Amino acid sequence: MRQKSKLFLINGAILTSTSLLMKFAALIFNIYISNQIGSEAVGVFSLVMAVYLFFITVATSGLNIAVTVIVSEKFALNKNKQAIKAIRTCIFFSLLLGITAGGLILFFSDFITNKCLHNMVSSKPLFYIAIGLPFIAMSSCISSYFTTVRKAYKNAITQVFEFTIKMIATIILLKINIANGVEAVCISLILADVIAEVCSFTLIFILYIIDIRLKKLEDVRSFGQRFNILKIAFPVAVTSYIRSGLSTLKQLIIPTQLEKSGISCSRALSQYGMINGMVLPVITFPTVLTDSYSMLLIPEFSTYVAQKNYKAINYVANKIFKITCAFSMCVCSIFFIFSNDLGLAIYNNIETGYFFKVFTPFIFFMYMDHIIDCILKGLNKQFGVMCCNILDLSITTCFIYFLLPVLGIKGYVLSIFFSEVLNFSISLFQLYKYSKIMPNLIDWIIVPLICSLIAYFITNIFHFNLITLTINLIFNVLFFVLIYIISFFIINLLRQKNS
C-alpha cells in the first residue's frame, strides 16, 4: 500500500509539474494572443473550439475511459496479455471513430459555418479539424494506458513536445496571418493545433511500442476484450455525445441570445469572448495543480474496486477532499481579494477584474465537482456522472435561452453559477450513495475559511507597495498563500493534539 501511494504521488507530481509549466506558458501565450486579436476574435475562435470539442468527443467515444478501467483491472489481476489486447482494440476503434468524426464535420460544414459560426469564418478551419481527429482519438487511448500503468513521465514528455510544436507553429502562422482578419486568425490557431497533435501522436505511439517490448508483450497481436470495451465505452459514448452536444449547443446559442438583449452581434461576440476566452481560462488555470492527481484517481479507485478494498476507498477519498477544499478556498480568496488588480495586470481591463470577483463563488464548487467525478469514474459509475452532466446542461441551456434575452450578460453569469452548484450537489449525492462518505464540514469548510480570514487580515496589515502593479500583485498573492498554508498546518496540528 505504501509503495503504491508513493508511486501515486510521484506520478501525480510529474504530471502536475509538467502541466503547471505548460499551462502557465499556454496561459501567458493565450493572454498575449487575446490582447493582440481582441475579444471579438476570441469570441469567434471560442465558437469554433466549441464545435471542435464536440467532434473530439465523437472521435474518442469513451474509449479512453475503457482503457483506464480495463487495463487497471487486468494488470491488478496479473492478466497482462488481456490488458494489451484491450488497448490494441481501443486504438483500432479510436482510429475508425476519428475518421468517422472527420467525415461528419466535413459533411455538415456548410450548416456549421452558416448556423453555428454566424458566417464569421468559412469551412477551412473545419477541414483542418477533420485531419486532426483520428490522431487525437488514438493519442487519448495511449495516454490513458500510460496513466493506468503509472508511467506518467511518458505522457509528460509527449505533452511538452506537443506544446512546443504548437507554440512554434502558432507564432509562425499568426505572424503571417494576424493582419488578415478573424478567419485567418482562426485558421492559424486550428492548423497549429493539428500539426502539434500529429507530432504528439507520432511520439506517444513510439513510446507505447517501446513500453510493450520492454514488458515482452510485443507478441500479443490479436484483439480482445471487445465486449468489456463496449460495455464500458458505449454508455459513456452515448451520454457523452448528448452531454457534449448540449455543451456545444449552449456555447453556440450564447451570442445569439445576447443579441436578443438589444446589443449588436459584434458586442455579443465580444462579451462572450471576454467571459469564455479571457476570464474563465484564468479562473480555471489553478486546477492544473489538482487535475493530474484527480485523473490518477480513476485507475487507483478502479484497482481498489477490483480488489474490493473499500477501506482504502474511504480513506483516500477523505484525504483528497480535505486537501482539495483547502486549495479551492485559497484560490477563491485570491480571486475575490485581488480581482481588480488581476484584471488590470493581466488584460489592462477593469471589466475582466469585475468578472473575476463575480465568478469567485463558483470556483469552490467547480474544483470539488471535478474531483468527485473522477472518483465516481474510478468506482465504475461513469454512467451516473454522464447523466448528472446531461441534466445539468439541459437545465442551464434552458436558463441561457430564456435569461440572456432579458438579463444580458448577467443572465449568462447566473447560468454558470447555477450549473456548477447543481452539478456539485448531484455528484456529491451520488458519491455518498455509492461509498457512504460523509461530508466533514469542519475539515472541508470551516478550517479553510478560518485560514482565508487570517491570511486576509495579515496581508492587509503587511501589504506590499512596490514599483509596478504586476510585481506588487505577485508579492501580495505569494504572501497571502504563505500565510494561508502556515495557518492551515498550525490549525490542523492543534486539532490533532486536542483530539
| pLDDT tens digits, 295-338 | 667 777 777 777 777 777 777 778 888 888 899 899 999 999 99
What percent of the chain clears pLDDT 90, i.e. is strictly above it? 17
What integer best gives the mean pLDDT of the chain?
A: 82
Per-domain residue ranges for the chain? 2-308+359-439
What is the spatial distance between Cα 377 and Cα 16, in angstroms, rounded to a whole number? Answer: 20
pLDDT at 11 (0 to 100): 60
pLDDT at 225 (0 to 100): 64
Above 60 in pLDDT, residue 1?
no
Least confident of 25-39, 168-182, 367-381, 395-409: 25-39
The answer to whether the beta carbons of residues 85 and 225 sit under 8 Å apart is yes
Least confident of 12-16, 160-164, 362-366, 492-496: 12-16
pLDDT at 12 (0 to 100): 58
The answer to whether the beta carbons of residues 152 and 289 sit under 8 Å apart is no
What is the spatial distance between Cα 297 and Cα 287, in angstroms, rounded to a whole number? Answer: 15
pLDDT at 146 (0 to 100): 84
Above 90 in pLDDT, residue 133?
yes
pLDDT band at 219 (very low <50, low <70, confident <90, very high): low
pLDDT at 130 (0 to 100): 92
pLDDT band at 223 (very low <50, low <70, confident <90, very high): low
Above 80 in pLDDT, residue 95?
yes
pLDDT at 14 (0 to 100): 63
In this prediction, residues 403-426 reach a mean pLDDT of 87
Q: What are the tens digits of pLDDT across the range 247-291?
A: 888 888 888 888 888 887 778 888 888 888 888 888 888 877 776
